[in-house]
Amino acid sequence: RRPTLAVVGATGSVGGVLLQILSQHADIWGEIRLVASARSAGRKLTVRGEETEVVALTESVFDGVDVAMFDVPDEVAAQWAPIAASKGAVVVDNSAAFRLDDDVPLVVPEVNPHAARVRPRGIVANPNCTTLSMIVAIGALHAEFGLRELVVSSYQAVSGAGRAGVETLRAQLSLVAGTELGTSPGDLRRAVGDATGPFPEPVALNVVPWAGSLREDGWSSEEMKVRDESRKILGLPELPVAVTCVRVPVVTTHSLTVHARFQSEVTVGRAREILATAPGVVLFDDPAAGEFPTPADVVGTDPTWVGRVRRSLDDPSGLELFVCGDNLRKGAALNTAQIAELIAAEFTA
């Protein structure tokens, strides 16, 4: 039997990518129900080539639903995912509401697919986009070398902050194009004024060392997510992880520099073999030919791209990497769809 799917949050930016992916992947679903807030109900969206009307989020939309993908704010997921699960749907949730709960698996199909089978609350969580933009490559190296420590800096695209993030960057870019702004202290800030949108500082012609909200001792919520989620996905609850999250003027695709330390000595040759053959990873690493991943080339693609693979100069058990992943595809919609497809296979098995 082909399972029935609900897409909750179908009108959002990740929802839009989800509908594209559902139209591109093998068509394993029976009915697909598109669900959003009452404000968006009645809109028509195309999925699998068919115009489908968006319905408002109510309890009854989950009647007969086997799998429900959620891409909604944390508080909406916290309220509605348990309702969907109580009606018998398996929920694949892309919010932070359940990710760290012990009885909710946090799944990346290339790394820990088995975890999706144990879901006592009927909820499977999808990681944050920054974690997802690197974890497939890290998981492949961990499986071979045994990870001991991670030190990570992110270069995060504005679409991680939703449509408002993209609109803010575009508006700021049109303000600064053709000017000499960015050449004296404070000139950019004066030109942008209060129009910083979801960011604490101007993001055009700038880098902003902040993503998310303030947590204890100066850490950001985004930095804590990368640490906590990486530990949970890799099954390494004590892994030392140091993260600095930075927003850059890129529309879509998060990048990260990674220093990874392993149990014993590593070689670049073996690391490259692993990365070149790991499912979901592309090794693109020939600096002599000017080849390394950048967001401009990676955006719109599915894999995790890795370049600049070097052995740490002062530690033969360490590797340095530059990693890029489309934050709306693998970072959100694609991983959600992959988890949902794993669960759908249980219905058709």
SS3 164: helix
Asked about 245 being catalytic, the answer comes back as no
Q: Do residues 160 and 253 lie in contact, with contact meaning Cβ atoms separated by under 8 Å?
A: no
285 makes contact with ligand 2RA (CB under 6 A): no
Three-state secondary-structure class, residue 57: coil
| Contact call for residue 203 and ligand 2RA (CB under 6 A) | no
Helix, strand, or coil (residue 313): coil
Q: Which of 25, 114, 245, 254 is catalytic?
A: 254
SS3 track for 165-233: HHHHHHHHHHHHCCCCCCCCCCHHHHHHCCCCCCCCCCCCCCCECCCCCECHHHCEHHHHHHHHHHHHH
Minimum distance, C-beta of residue 148 to ligand 2RA, in the bound complex (Å): 25
Q: Which residues pair with 261 in a beta bridge?
A: 149, 318
10 Å Cβ neighbour count for 173? 14
211 forms part of the interface with ligand 2RA (CB under 6 A)? yes
Least distance (Å) between residue 211 CB and ligand 2RA: 5
Interacting residues of 170 by C-beta distance below 8 A, sequence separation 6+ = none
Nearer to ligand 2RA, 150 or 211 (CB): 211
Identity of residue 11: T
Applying CB under 6 A, among 66, 110, 222, 223 the residue interacting with ligand 2RA is 222
Residue 56 sits at the vertex; the CA angle it makes with 28 and 341, to the nearest 5 degrees, is 20
Should residue 161 be labelled a site residue for ligand 2RA when binding is judged by CB under 6 A? yes
Min separation Cβ 9 and ligand 2RA, Å: 13
Q: Please pick, from the candidates 13, 156, 230, 335, the single residue that binds ligand 2RA as defined by CB under 6 A.
A: 156
Closest by CA position to 147, among listed 243, 240, 232, 269: 240
Query: Binding segment for ligand 2RA among 26-34, 154-162, 261-269, 339-347 (CB under 6 A)?
Result: 154-162
The one among 9, 12, 139, 160 contacting ligand 2RA by CB under 6 A: 160
| Interactions with ligand 2RA, residue window 70-99 (CB under 6 A) | none
Of the listed pieces 2-10, 31-39, 124-132, 142-150, which binds ligand 2RA according to CB under 6 A?
Answer: 124-132
List of residues contacting ligand 2RA (CB under 6 A) = 128-130, 156, 160-161, 211, 222
The residues annotated with a catalytic role in the active site are 129, 254
Q: Which residues are annotated as a binding site for phosphate?
A: 99
